[in-house]
Structure 1
Amino acid sequence: MSEYWPAWAREWLDVIVPVAQVLLIVAVAWLLQQLARRLIRRLGRHNLPAEALTVVRRASGFLIYAAAVLLVLERLGVSAGVLWGAFTGFAAVAAVAFFAVWSVLSNIFCTILIFTTRPFRLYERIELLENGEKPGLKGRVTDINLIYTTLQEENGSDASNATTLQIPNSLFFQRVVRRWTGSAMRPLEESTSTNDG
C-alpha cells in the first residue's frame, strides 16, 4: 500500500504510523478512564463508602494508564522480554528491601489500621495486656505517629512523676487492648489542671 503514496510521504511513513498509534492508545486510555470515573460515580449513589470508591477509582486509573504505557512502549520498539526482565529484577530488589524494613512497614500499616478501626483514640486511657491477667502497659494516649503510640503513665496524683512509654503500633494488633471509655477525651494537662482547681 505504501507504493501508492508519494515519495516524500513514504519517507515519513515510518514516523507517522507509530506516532498515530501512540496518540490512539493515549486517546483510548483517556476515554476508558472517563468511562471508569462515570461508572464509579454511579456506584457512589448506592451508599458505598467514599474510601472504597476512592480506592477503586485510583486502582482503575493505575491499571488503565499502566496498560497504556506498556502498549506505547511496545509500539516504540521496547520488547516485552526486556520489560519483563526489568520488572522481575526490580521486584527482586524490592522484595529484599521490603524484608529489610519489614518492622517499619508493619508499624506504618498498623498506624493506618489504628486510624481506621479506632481501637482507641487520642487522650483515652488504655492498657496493653501481656497475656490474660498479667498487668500490662497502661496510660493515657498522648500521641499516635507512624511508628509508635505514646502513652503517659499516671503515677498517682502528681503529674510531674508521669513517665512516657513509646509502644510500636504493631503491638496493638498482637496483644489485647483494654480501653476505659469513660476517660476524658481531652489533653492530660487540661484534665490535671481541672482536678487541681
Structure 2
Amino acid sequence: MKEIQEFFVNFRTIESIIVIALGTLLRIFATKSLTNVRKKFGFQKNRVVLINKIITLLIYASVIVIISFIWGVDEKELFLFVSSFLTILGIAFFAQWSILSNITAGLILFVNYPVKIGDTITILEKDNNVSGEIKDIGAFFITLKTEENEFVTIPNSIILQKNIKFQSK
C-alpha cells in the first residue's frame, strides 16, 4: 500500500514538473512572438513589455490551477475560491471603472491603433483641442508634449472615444 502511495506522489511530482515546464515554454514562445510582432509592426518596446506581463500572469495562473487539480484539490473548493476572488475583484474594478476601461483601452491601442511614440496628434473636441507629440503610451495614460513644452496626460479610454488627427514621423 505504501508503494502505491509513493508511486502516486512521484507521478504527481512528475506531472507538476511537466506542467511547469510547459508553462515556461509557452511563456517563452509568447515573449518571442510578441517581439516578432513588435519588430514587424514597429510597436514600442514598453507596449510589448506590458502585454508580456499580462500574458505571463495568465499563463502562470493557469499553471497554478492545473497543478492544484493534479494534487487533488476539490473542484468545488477551487471554484468557490476563484469565484469569491473574482467577485471581490469585480467589485473593486466596478468602483474604479475608469481604471479597468483605461487598461482595456491601453491593450486596444497596443494591438490596433495607428499612432506610436513620436507621432504628433490632435485630440479633436468641441471647445478645446489638445495637440502634442506622443512621449509615452502606458497602461493607463498617453503622455503628450505640447508645443509649449508642457506634458499632458490623457486617459487611454479618451483616446478611443475622441476623434484624433495625427501626423506620423
TM > 0.5: yes
Match of 2:123 among 116, 125, 128: 128
Match of 1:113 among 108, 112, 115: 108
Contact 1:127–1:136 (CA<8 Å) still a contact in 2? no
Provide the identity percentage.
Answer: 19
Contact 2:132–2:146 (CA<8 Å) still a contact in 1? yes
Tell me the SS of whatever aligns to 1:178.
Answer: strand
Please list, as runs of the form range in 1=range in 2, the aligned pairs for 1:5-44 lying within 5 A after superposition.
Answer: 10=1, 12-13=2-3, 15-26=5-16, 29=19, 33=22
Counterpart of 1:71? Answer: 70
Offset of residue 177 of structure 1: 0.5
> In the alignment, is residue 166 of structure 1 matched against residue 168 of structure 2?
no
Tell me the SS of whatever aligns to 2:114.
Answer: coil
Tell me the SS of whatever aligns to 1:146.
Answer: coil
Offset of residue 173 of structure 1: 0.6
Counterpart of 1:176? Answer: 163
Give the length in aligned residue pairs: 148
Which protein, 1 or 2, shows the higher relative CO under an 8 Å CA cutoff with sep ≥ 6?
2
Question: Can you give the 5+ residue segments of structure 1 that lack an aligned partner in the other structure?
Answer: 1-9, 186-197
Offset of residue 97 of structure 1: 1.6
C-alpha distance in 1, partners of 2:139/2:111?
13
* Residues 1:117 and 1:13: Cα distance change in structure 2 (over 3 Å): same
TM-score, normalisation: structure 2? 0.61
Offset of residue 178 of structure 1: 0.6
C-alpha distance in 2, partners of 1:104/1:13?
54
TM-score, normalisation: structure 1? 0.54
C-alpha distance in 2, partners of 1:141/1:95?
35
Please list the CA deviations of residues 149-191 of structure 1 after superposition, one character each: whole Å capped at 9, or x if unmatched: 233443xxxx4xx65433212111111101134xxx5xxxxxx
Tell me the SS of whatever aligns to 2:132.
Answer: strand
* Residues 1:143 and 1:27: Cα distance change in structure 2 (over 3 Å): closer
Contact 2:121–2:134 (CA<8 Å) still a contact in 1? no
Offset of residue 86 of structure 1: 1.5
Counterpart of 1:138? Answer: 130
Counterpart of 2:91? Answer: 96
Larger Rg: 1
Contact 2:123–2:131 (CA<8 Å) still a contact in 1? no
> In the alignment, is residue 148 of structure 1 matched against residue 141 of structure 2?
yes
C-alpha distance in 2, partners of 1:26/1:163?
53
